[in-house]
Amino acid sequence: MEALLLGRDPDTAVRLSAVAGTLFAVTFVLHLPPRLVGWLSFPFGLFLPLLVGTAFLAAAVGAYRNDGFFVALSLAGGPSFGFYLPLGLFELTYPSATVLEGLTIGATVTVAAGTAGFLVGAGGRRAIRRIRD
């Protein structure tokens, strides 16, 4: 059960969690207001499908490499929270979202994309192993 929730290899789980933190930091900085980061700022909402795709893909790759449902959720949560948190912190939308709304939407995207990514990644690894055997 521990391997299913946290992953087969603890060292890989720690490295994947660091990747999740990096995804959060990069996404957060890219979605800060232009007055704070200048040309690094990325217009809100331009690539929303890319955000969901990145969250899904990160969770799927993490689950394929090491299982770990919670690790897959953290990988999906990095870009999700990095995108939605600045909306509430810096009032980037009108009507402006609160921090709680940003966290709620980020958590919803995290759970949906992370669960789907985990199922595809872990299921795909098991299917490939069965085919090889």
pLDDT tens string 51-79: 899 999 999 999 999 989 999 999 999 99
Total number of domains constituting the chain: 1
CB atoms within 10 A of CB 67: 24
43: pLDDT confidence band, cut at 50, 70 and 90?
A: low
Structure tokens at 10: 């603890």
Instruction: Determine the structural domain holding residue 46 and report its residue range.
Output: 2-132
pTM higher than 0.85: yes
Grade residue 121 by pLDDT with cuts at 50, 70 and 90. Answer: very high
Q: What is the pLDDT of residue 100?
A: 92
3 state DSSP class of 112: helix
Mean pLDDT value of segment 93-119: 91
Q: Tens of pLDDT along 1-10? A: 887 888 999 9
Q: Is the pLDDT of residue 44 over 80?
A: no
User: What is the rounded distance in angstroms from the CA atom of residue 76 to the CA atom of residue 65?
Assistant: 15
Residue from 133, 84, 110 nearest 20 by CA: 110
Residue 92 has pLDDT above 90, yes or no: no
pLDDT of residue 47: 74
